Amino acid sequence: MTRRQATSSILSGAALIATAGTAAAQPGPIKLPPPRPEGGISLTAALKLRRSSRAYSQRPLTPQILSDLLWAAFGINRPSGDRTAPYWRHVMVMDIYAAMANGVWLYEPKLHMLVSHLPNDIRAKTGLQDFVATAPLNLVYVAHGERMTDVSPEDRRLYASVDAGFIGQNVYLYCASQGLATVFRAAVDYAGLAKTMNLPSQQFVTFAQTVGYPAS
Ligand SMILES: Cc1cc2nc3c(=O)[nH]c(=O)nc-3n(C[C@H](O)[C@H](O)[C@H](O)COP(=O)(O)O)c2cc1C
Protein backbone atom coordinates (compact mmCIF):
# COMPACT_ATOMS: atom_id res chain seq x y z
CA MET A 1 0.00 0.00 0.00
CA THR A 2 1.39 3.43 -0.90
CA ARG A 3 1.53 6.18 1.71
CA ARG A 4 -1.22 8.03 -0.15
CA GLN A 5 -3.48 4.98 -0.13
CA ALA A 6 -2.75 4.43 3.56
CA THR A 7 -3.67 8.02 4.42
CA SER A 8 -6.78 7.78 2.31
CA SER A 9 -7.88 4.63 4.10
CA ILE A 10 -7.18 6.21 7.50
CA LEU A 11 -9.30 9.19 6.54
CA SER A 12 -12.18 7.06 5.33
CA GLY A 13 -11.85 4.87 8.43
CA ALA A 14 -12.17 7.93 10.63
CA ALA A 15 -15.19 9.00 8.57
CA LEU A 16 -16.77 5.61 9.16
CA ILE A 17 -16.28 6.01 12.91
CA ALA A 18 -18.02 9.38 12.80
CA THR A 19 -20.92 8.33 10.60
CA ALA A 20 -21.54 5.16 12.57
CA GLY A 21 -22.11 7.38 15.60
CA THR A 22 -20.05 5.16 17.86
CA ALA A 23 -19.22 6.53 21.27
CA ALA A 24 -16.56 9.11 20.71
CA ALA A 25 -13.44 7.00 20.15
CA GLN A 26 -10.64 9.46 19.49
CA PRO A 27 -8.91 8.48 16.23
CA GLY A 28 -5.13 8.56 16.02
CA PRO A 29 -3.21 11.29 14.18
CA ILE A 30 -3.21 11.35 10.40
CA LYS A 31 0.13 11.83 8.68
CA LEU A 32 -0.61 13.89 5.60
CA PRO A 33 1.12 13.07 2.32
CA PRO A 34 4.02 15.45 1.62
CA PRO A 35 2.84 18.71 0.06
CA ARG A 36 3.51 18.83 -3.65
CA PRO A 37 6.38 21.24 -4.33
CA GLU A 38 5.21 22.09 -7.86
CA GLY A 39 1.99 22.64 -9.68
CA GLY A 40 -0.87 25.04 -9.86
CA ILE A 41 -1.05 28.16 -11.99
CA SER A 42 0.95 31.38 -11.93
CA LEU A 43 0.48 33.79 -9.05
CA THR A 44 -0.94 36.37 -11.45
CA ALA A 45 -3.44 33.87 -12.82
CA ALA A 46 -4.45 32.90 -9.26
CA LEU A 47 -4.92 36.55 -8.34
CA LYS A 48 -7.21 36.95 -11.34
CA LEU A 49 -9.33 34.01 -10.18
CA ARG A 50 -9.42 34.78 -6.45
CA ARG A 51 -12.97 35.22 -5.18
CA SER A 52 -15.34 34.20 -2.38
CA SER A 53 -17.80 31.37 -3.02
CA ARG A 54 -20.85 30.30 -1.05
CA ALA A 55 -21.99 27.21 -2.97
CA TYR A 56 -20.11 23.97 -2.30
CA SER A 57 -20.20 20.36 -3.38
CA GLN A 58 -20.34 17.93 -0.45
CA ARG A 59 -17.52 15.86 -1.96
CA PRO A 60 -14.69 15.36 0.58
CA LEU A 61 -11.28 16.79 -0.23
CA THR A 62 -8.58 14.26 -1.06
CA PRO A 63 -5.70 13.80 1.42
CA GLN A 64 -3.32 15.34 -1.12
CA ILE A 65 -5.47 18.45 -1.50
CA LEU A 66 -5.74 18.73 2.30
CA SER A 67 -1.99 18.40 2.57
CA ASP A 68 -1.24 21.01 -0.08
CA LEU A 69 -3.91 23.37 1.26
CA LEU A 70 -2.72 23.27 4.87
CA TRP A 71 0.89 23.67 3.82
CA ALA A 72 -0.06 26.67 1.68
CA ALA A 73 -2.10 28.07 4.57
CA PHE A 74 0.55 28.03 7.29
CA GLY A 75 3.00 25.23 6.62
CA ILE A 76 6.74 25.32 7.18
CA ASN A 77 8.63 26.67 4.17
CA ARG A 78 12.17 27.09 5.58
CA PRO A 79 14.64 25.09 7.66
CA SER A 80 14.15 27.67 10.44
CA GLY A 81 10.60 26.34 10.89
CA ASP A 82 9.04 29.57 9.72
CA ARG A 83 5.86 29.59 7.75
CA THR A 84 4.19 30.41 4.46
CA ALA A 85 2.45 33.36 6.17
CA PRO A 86 4.06 36.09 8.26
CA TYR A 87 3.17 36.24 11.93
CA TRP A 88 3.21 38.76 14.75
CA ARG A 89 6.56 39.34 16.46
CA HIS A 90 7.76 35.89 15.55
CA VAL A 91 5.48 34.50 18.27
CA MET A 92 3.52 31.46 17.15
CA VAL A 93 0.01 32.37 18.12
CA MET A 94 -2.22 30.74 15.53
CA ASP A 95 -3.55 27.20 15.36
CA ILE A 96 -5.53 25.94 12.40
CA TYR A 97 -8.31 23.47 13.09
CA ALA A 98 -9.95 21.53 10.27
CA ALA A 99 -13.63 20.78 10.93
CA MET A 100 -14.73 17.96 8.66
CA ALA A 101 -17.43 15.26 8.65
CA ASN A 102 -15.06 12.96 10.52
CA GLY A 103 -14.32 15.36 13.35
CA VAL A 104 -12.17 18.33 14.25
CA TRP A 105 -8.45 18.07 13.62
CA LEU A 106 -5.57 20.29 14.70
CA TYR A 107 -3.00 20.92 11.97
CA GLU A 108 0.47 20.21 13.32
CA PRO A 109 2.87 21.86 10.81
CA LYS A 110 6.12 20.44 12.22
CA LEU A 111 5.04 16.89 11.49
CA HIS A 112 2.61 17.91 8.72
CA MET A 113 -0.01 15.92 10.51
CA LEU A 114 -3.63 16.19 11.63
CA VAL A 115 -4.17 15.49 15.31
CA SER A 116 -7.66 14.57 16.42
CA HIS A 117 -9.22 17.26 18.60
CA LEU A 118 -12.88 16.17 18.64
CA PRO A 119 -14.39 13.07 17.06
CA ASN A 120 -17.71 14.66 16.11
CA ASP A 121 -18.97 16.69 13.16
CA ILE A 122 -19.26 20.32 14.29
CA ARG A 123 -19.28 21.91 10.83
CA ALA A 124 -22.73 23.45 11.36
CA LYS A 125 -21.37 25.27 14.43
CA THR A 126 -18.50 26.91 12.55
CA GLY A 127 -20.63 29.66 11.07
CA LEU A 128 -23.99 31.30 10.67
CA GLN A 129 -24.44 30.47 6.98
CA ASP A 130 -26.12 27.28 5.77
CA PHE A 131 -23.34 26.04 3.48
CA VAL A 132 -20.92 25.54 6.38
CA ALA A 133 -22.82 22.45 7.56
CA THR A 134 -22.28 20.50 4.33
CA ALA A 135 -19.11 21.90 2.75
CA PRO A 136 -16.34 19.33 3.31
CA LEU A 137 -13.96 21.58 5.23
CA ASN A 138 -14.20 24.55 7.55
CA LEU A 139 -10.90 25.91 8.78
CA VAL A 140 -11.07 27.61 12.17
CA TYR A 141 -8.27 30.03 13.00
CA VAL A 142 -7.68 29.96 16.75
CA ALA A 143 -5.34 32.32 18.59
CA HIS A 144 -3.43 31.61 21.79
CA GLY A 145 -4.04 34.85 23.69
CA GLU A 146 -1.80 33.70 26.53
CA ARG A 147 1.23 33.78 24.22
CA MET A 148 0.69 37.48 23.42
CA THR A 149 2.27 39.12 26.41
CA ASP A 150 2.66 42.88 26.93
CA VAL A 151 -0.28 43.80 24.72
CA SER A 152 -3.84 44.82 25.51
CA PRO A 153 -6.75 42.45 24.82
CA GLU A 154 -7.74 44.71 21.90
CA ASP A 155 -4.29 44.47 20.38
CA ARG A 156 -4.26 40.71 20.89
CA ARG A 157 -7.35 40.46 18.75
CA LEU A 158 -5.93 42.92 16.22
CA TYR A 159 -2.61 41.11 15.71
CA ALA A 160 -4.20 37.67 15.75
CA SER A 161 -6.71 38.84 13.16
CA VAL A 162 -3.90 40.04 10.90
CA ASP A 163 -2.13 36.68 11.29
CA ALA A 164 -5.38 34.94 10.35
CA GLY A 165 -5.90 37.28 7.39
CA PHE A 166 -2.55 36.37 5.88
CA ILE A 167 -3.32 32.67 6.30
CA GLY A 168 -6.74 33.24 4.79
CA GLN A 169 -5.26 34.91 1.71
CA ASN A 170 -2.85 31.99 1.25
CA VAL A 171 -5.89 29.72 1.31
CA TYR A 172 -7.71 31.94 -1.18
CA LEU A 173 -4.78 31.82 -3.61
CA TYR A 174 -4.25 28.09 -3.22
CA CYS A 175 -7.96 27.51 -3.85
CA ALA A 176 -7.90 29.79 -6.89
CA SER A 177 -4.96 27.86 -8.28
CA GLN A 178 -6.72 24.51 -7.84
CA GLY A 179 -10.26 25.36 -8.89
CA LEU A 180 -11.51 25.08 -5.30
CA ALA A 181 -14.14 27.29 -3.69
CA THR A 182 -13.51 29.19 -0.47
CA VAL A 183 -14.74 32.04 1.71
CA PHE A 184 -13.14 33.69 4.74
CA ARG A 185 -15.78 34.23 7.40
CA ALA A 186 -16.49 36.46 10.38
CA ALA A 187 -20.15 35.43 10.60
CA VAL A 188 -19.45 33.04 13.45
CA ASP A 189 -20.98 32.56 16.91
CA TYR A 190 -17.60 33.03 18.55
CA ALA A 191 -18.53 32.12 22.10
CA GLY A 192 -20.61 29.16 20.93
CA LEU A 193 -17.86 27.83 18.69
CA ALA A 194 -15.18 28.20 21.38
CA LYS A 195 -17.44 26.22 23.71
CA THR A 196 -18.18 23.55 21.13
CA MET A 197 -14.45 23.19 20.49
CA ASN A 198 -13.64 23.06 24.23
CA LEU A 199 -11.09 25.85 23.84
CA PRO A 200 -9.29 26.98 27.00
CA SER A 201 -10.39 30.45 28.12
CA GLN A 202 -7.22 32.18 26.85
CA GLN A 203 -7.67 30.89 23.33
CA PHE A 204 -10.10 32.54 20.94
CA VAL A 205 -11.49 32.04 17.47
CA THR A 206 -10.45 34.80 15.06
CA PHE A 207 -12.15 33.76 11.81
CA ALA A 208 -13.26 30.67 9.95
CA GLN A 209 -12.85 29.76 6.29
CA THR A 210 -14.83 27.26 4.27
CA VAL A 211 -13.14 25.24 1.52
CA GLY A 212 -14.53 22.72 -0.94
CA TYR A 213 -15.14 21.87 -4.55
CA PRO A 214 -17.51 24.31 -6.18
CA ALA A 215 -21.14 23.19 -6.43
CA SER A 216 -21.70 21.98 -9.98
C1 LIG B 1 -12.78 40.03 7.59
C2 LIG B 1 -13.70 39.39 6.58
C3 LIG B 1 -14.85 38.77 7.03
C4 LIG B 1 -15.72 38.16 6.12
N5 LIG B 1 -16.81 37.50 6.58
C6 LIG B 1 -17.62 36.86 5.72
C7 LIG B 1 -18.71 36.09 6.20
O8 LIG B 1 -18.93 35.94 7.38
N9 LIG B 1 -19.47 35.46 5.30
C10 LIG B 1 -19.26 35.57 3.95
O11 LIG B 1 -20.01 34.97 3.18
N12 LIG B 1 -18.23 36.28 3.47
C13 LIG B 1 -17.39 36.92 4.31
N14 LIG B 1 -16.30 37.59 3.85
C15 LIG B 1 -16.02 37.62 2.41
C16 LIG B 1 -16.37 38.97 1.83
O17 LIG B 1 -17.78 39.16 1.85
C18 LIG B 1 -15.83 39.06 0.40
O19 LIG B 1 -14.43 38.93 0.43
C20 LIG B 1 -16.21 40.37 -0.26
O21 LIG B 1 -17.61 40.44 -0.45
C22 LIG B 1 -15.52 40.55 -1.61
O23 LIG B 1 -15.83 39.45 -2.46
P24 LIG B 1 -14.67 38.54 -3.10
O25 LIG B 1 -13.93 37.90 -1.98
O26 LIG B 1 -15.40 37.54 -3.96
O27 LIG B 1 -13.80 39.44 -3.89
C28 LIG B 1 -15.42 38.21 4.73
C29 LIG B 1 -14.24 38.81 4.30
C30 LIG B 1 -13.38 39.39 5.20
C31 LIG B 1 -12.09 40.00 4.71
pLDDT digits (tens, 9 = 90+) for 3-33: 343 344 334 434 333 333 344 567 899 999 9
pLDDT digits (tens, 9 = 90+) for 147-181: 999 999 999 999 999 999 999 999 999 999 999 99
What is the CA(187)–ligand 1 centre distance, in A? 9
Decide whether any atom of ligand 1 lies within 6 Å of the 183 Cβ.
Answer: yes
Output the furthest CA–CA distance in the chain (Å, rounded): 52
* CA distance readout (Å), 97 to 42, 84, 113, 122: 28, 17, 12, 11
Q: Tell me, what amino acid is at 30?
A: I
Global pTM reads 0.90
What is the CA(185)–ligand 1 centre distance, in A? 6
Closest residue CA from atom 5 of ligand 1: 185
Decide whether any atom of ligand 1 lies within 6 Å of the 185 Cβ.
Answer: yes
pLDDT for position 51: 98
The whole-angstrom separation of Cα 80 and Cα 189 is 36
Residue among 22, 210, 44, 34 nearest 113 (CA): 34
pLDDT digits (tens, 9 = 90+) for 64-120: 999 999 999 999 999 999 999 999 999 999 999 999 999 999 999 999 999 999 999
pLDDT digits (tens, 9 = 90+) for 121-146: 999 999 999 999 999 999 999 999 99
Residue among 57, 76, 54 nearest 129 (CA): 54
Q: Give yes or no for residue 211 having a pLDDT over 90.
A: yes
* pLDDT above 70 coverage of the chain, percent: 88
Under a CB-based contact definition with an 8 Å cutoff, are residues 197 and 188 in contact? no
What is the CA(58)–ligand 1 centre distance, in A? 21
